[in-house]
Amino acid sequence: MTATIAAQRQFDHAVVICPDLDAAAQTWQRLGFTLTPRGFHTLGSQNHCVMLARDYLELMHVDGPSEALQYYWHSQQHGGGCAALSCRSDDAVADAATLRGGGWHTAEPVEFSRPVRLDDGSEHPATFRVTAMDDAPGARFFLCEHRTPELLWRPEWMTHANGAQAIGTMFLVVAPSLVDAAARAYAELMGAELTQLSEHVCSLAVGDATLVLSTPQALAAATGTGHIRQAVPGYAAIRLRTASLEQARALWREAGVPSLDLSATETLIPAHAAAGVALLFEQR
């Protein structure tokens, strides 16, 4: 295990950039996800979220180019897909100072909000502070501090027809020459234990979830299927834990959703059917 600059972290959420947020929302609803109402961030972006037991997935659209959202704007202009991963922070400002003390270059912590309308008709500002890593390998990585978590993790948004419960694994593709260095960097950033599975694949234990890094050529070995492809650095797939895979499969068949059963306990929804990121549903 590499030296760390923080206690072990856990995944907070993955960001899926959507050039057409309406179409992406409809697609994910067909997949059996319950989406939060559309949110409008003060930074100039919009989103829907899939709230899970401890983490979540964010479908995000950027309204236009800006300094704060330039990375996401660039991703959106190039088709979108899963563009970033965050880990939970209790204090984004303190974490930024710790990271800088460890030699990492971070952007200045940013605080922003979006209004959340509850079922009773009341509206409240959900507030966040984030610290982004400017030089994280492979894709955007940031720490997210939730100032008002009670406005996000609400029972009415946490039950999904496909049984989704949590992010199990994030699959990140990096250049062949960077697999080892990138894995060690993320191990340090996340306080995670690193296991080198092969010369081209590394795995990091992040709480009870996993971050897997691989080369494009080794992605099939990393994911367990040759049906997921990613030629350039970035997030290729997300494995989700589901409590009811058979129920999800029946839902997808009825809705005409393209899917491929990889085993008795795992099904793939290809990227073209999930707003640009492959989804692996695993019975747990």
pLDDT at position 135, please? 81
pLDDT in tens, 146-190: 999 999 999 999 999 999 999 999 999 999 999 999 999 999 999
Residue 249 φ then ψ, to 5°: -60, -40
d(CA 145, CA 142): 10
Q: Give the angle 259-74-12 at the CA atoms, nearest 5°.
A: 60
pLDDT in tens, 206-253: 999 999 999 999 999 999 999 999 999 999 999 999 999 999 999 999
Cβ of 158: how many Cβ atoms within 10 Å? 17
Q: What are phi and psi for residue 69, nearest 5 degrees? A: -120, 20
Residue 7 pLDDT exceeds 80: no
* Domain range annotation of the chain: 11-157, 164-283
Convert the pLDDT of each residue in 47-77 to its tens digit.
Answer: 999 999 999 999 999 999 998 899 999 999 9
Residue 42 and residue 156 in contact, taking contact as beta carbons nearer than 8 Å: no
Q: Residue 5 pLDDT more than 80?
A: no
Superfamily of domain 164-283: 2,3-Dihydroxybiphenyl 1,2-Dioxygenase, domain 1 (3.10.180.10)
Superfamily for the 11-157 domain: 2,3-Dihydroxybiphenyl 1,2-Dioxygenase, domain 1 (3.10.180.10)
8-37 residue pLDDT tens: 899 999 999 999 999 999 999 999 999 999
Residue 6: the pLDDT is: 59
